[in-house]
Amino acid sequence: SQKIEQNSEALNIQEGKTATLTCNYTNYSPAYLQWYRQDPGRGPVFLLLIRENEKEKRKERLKVTFDTTLKQSLFHITASQPADSATYLCALGGSTLGRLYFGRGTQLTVWP
C-alpha cells in the first residue's frame, strides 16, 4: 500500500540547533515534493518545493534534500528559533499522481 511517513510525531530541540525532519514514502513515484508549515488553528503555508532531479534546495535557514533512491526527503532548519515551532507537513506530487498526497506532519518544538 502507499504510505507517507514523517518521523516521530513530535520533535523537541534546543534553540540554535539544527532541526532535521524526515519524510519517507513507499509505493509512490513523485516528480516533486513540497514542504508546508502549519501553526495551530491555521492553514498550512507553503515553504519549499524540490523536484526529483534536484538533490538539494535552500531558502534562508531552510534546506531540503530529495533522494528518490532512498524514497526520502530531509527538511533542515538551521539555527532554529522558538518561532520555528510548528507542525511541518510534506506532500508528494507529480503528473502520475495527479494530485498532492500529504503526510501526517511532524510537530517541532524549539525551546530556549
Q: Which of 1, 27, 42, 69 binds another protein (CB under 8 A)?
A: 42
Q: Which of 27, 43, 53, 112 binds another protein (CB under 8 A)?
A: 43
C-alpha cell at 86: 510548528
What's 83's DSSP letter? G
Tell me the closest approach of the beta carbon of residue 46 to another protein, in angstroms. 4
Interior CA angle at 44 toward 39 and 26, to 5°? Answer: 115
Strand duo 19-26 + 3-6: pairing: antiparallel
Binding residues for another protein, how many (CB under 8 A)? 26
Q: Which stretch binds another protein (CB under 8 A): 12-20, 54-62, 69-77, 102-110?
A: 102-110
Distance CA 91, CA 32 (A): 9
- Pick between residue 36 and residue 80 the one whose CB is nearest to another protein: 36
Rule CB under 8 A: say whether 88 interacts with another protein.
Answer: no
Helix and strand counts by DSSP (H, E) for the chain: 0, 11
Distance CA 76, CA 64 (A): 6
Rule CB under 8 A: say whether 66 interacts with another protein.
Answer: no
Residue ranges binding another protein (CB under 8 A) = 4, 9, 31-32, 34, 36, 41-46, 49, 51, 89, 93-95, 97-100, 102-105
